[in-house]
Amino acid sequence: MKQVYLDYQSAKPVDPRVIEGMSKYLNEAFGNPSALHQVGDVATEALEESRKSIAKFINADEDEIIFTSGATEAINMGIIGYALRNKKKGNQIIMSEIEHISIHNIAKHLERLGFEISKVPVDQYGRINLRKLERRITDQTILITVGMASNEIGTIQPINEIGKLAAEKGIAFHSDAVAAEGLVPIDVKKDNINLMALSSNDIYGPRGLGIMYMQKKYRINPIIIGGGQERGLRSGSEDIPGIVGMKLAAEIMNKEMDKEVKRFKGYRDRMIKQILEEVPDSYLNGHPIERLASNAHFRFDGIEGESILLSFKDLNISVSTGSACTSKTLEPSHTLIATGLLHEEAHGSLQLTTGRFNTDEDIDIVLEAVPKVVSRLRDMSPIYKKK
């Protein structure tokens, strides 16, 4: 049976062109950029070329890119590093209710360190309310962090307006761009972003690599201390093969994104239209227009997400859900709850995210399966009532 993968938001395969380009840095050109000999010079050149290329991908300058071991580290560095460096200026940090779980956990950590966290609610489509954000700003606010798009429901935030507001108030603006990268153009200058996290895998590069972008006049305290690599901000010998991989991934993305996004939109709009039409009592989670091209997120009355996921597993289709039964904490998705859903509604959700290697046939297969799976589970559900 054909394997259908519709969970690109959780992991992506590395593009074969990237693997080909990075492989020589695993053995042939294995040097350490800190070494002053010729072997080291080859590595230094690869490192700095990559920095330039990735800077171009987000319209930053090359000395604003710091390589990390992934987006989680970049987010820790950007938020905790900035908070610790600037705690004399104030102790309040504003974030949205639908940030990635890693930022919610960083917020808990910062609260224990004495910072105050204010969370801005979102509307029923998951969009941040700018008026509510502005009202939360005090003379103690040092940082605003709002992700570019939701990794779960795909809602795109009004980043330009938030950046403008932060700049007017003289507050640093951090954005987790992981869910959005490769799907919407990123321009840190135009959007007044001061700190940002990106992951390599989310643009089909190797895992275990990411960057923190930091605008020139901004300062952070490093989280990882050591031999002083990356201007002392992120010590540890650079992962040159990974870095070259991310560079190649960014270059491919620069060239192919427009076309690719158009293709994903076709998949997405087809899935949304057909599922809402064919499955009774089904709803779209997230924003109807301001949403990532790759994201289709549904909920179905009367059934539970893990059952949906298991049913798809038997059909060789990989999908995701916001149901509590699949999470580590047995709590439903905080994102779905923030849009105003009840726990029982959040349980019946299905997340379909497409990517580079999907085909029309994949979409055909999933569209044929969804109504069948939903109706089978509803037939044995005591709480599903046909309207």
Partner 1 sequence: MKSTKYSEKVLDHFRNPRNVGTLEGDDVAVGKVGNPTCGDIMEVYIRIDGEKITDAKFRTFGCGSAIATTSMTTEMVKGMTLDEAMKLTRQDVAEELDGLPPIKMHCSNLAADALHEAITNFRRGRGEHVDEVEMTSIPEPGCVVGQDEFLNKGVWLGVNDPSEFKDLRTLILHSGDESVELAIDLTEQTDRVILLTPEKTVMTTPELEKRLEESNVKLLTESKLLEIRGEFEVEKVLIFNIDEDEEYELFVDAVVIIE
Q: Which residues are catalytic?
A: 325
- State which of positions 203-232 bind partner 1 (CB under 8 A): none
- Selected binder of partner 1 within 150, 157, 194, 323 (CB under 8 A): 323
Binding partner 1 (rule: CB under 8 A), the pick from 10, 23, 124, 316 is 124
Give the closest residue to 341 by CA, choosing from 382, 305, 386.
305
Between 182 and 332, whose beta carbon lies closer to partner 1?
332
Q: Where does this chain touch partner 1 (CB under 8 A) — which range of 107-115, 153-161, 169-177, 298-306?
A: 298-306
Cβ at position 290, least distance to partner 1 in Å: 14
Q: How far apart are CA 137 and CA 221, in angstroms?
A: 23
CA distance 142 to 138: 9
Q: Does 137 bind partner 1 (CB under 8 A)?
A: no
Q: Of the listed pieces 26-34, 132-140, 237-245, 248-256, which binds partner 1 according to CB under 8 A? A: 132-140
How many Å apart are CA 171 and CA 215, to the nearest integer? 13
Binding mask 94-113 for partner 1 (x = CB under 8 A): ---x----------------
Q: According to the binding rule CB under 8 A, does residue 134 interact with partner 1? A: no
The least CB distance from residue 299 to partner 1, in Å, is 12
Is residue 118 a contact point for partner 1 (CB under 8 A)?
Answer: yes
Q: Which is nearer to partner 1, 198 or 338 (CB)?
A: 338
* Positions 350 through 379 that interact with partner 1 (CB under 8 A): 379
- Positions touching partner 1 (CB under 8 A) are 97, 118, 121, 123-124, 132, 135-136, 302-307, 309-310, 313-314, 323-326, 330, 332, 337-340, 342-344, 347, 379-384, 387
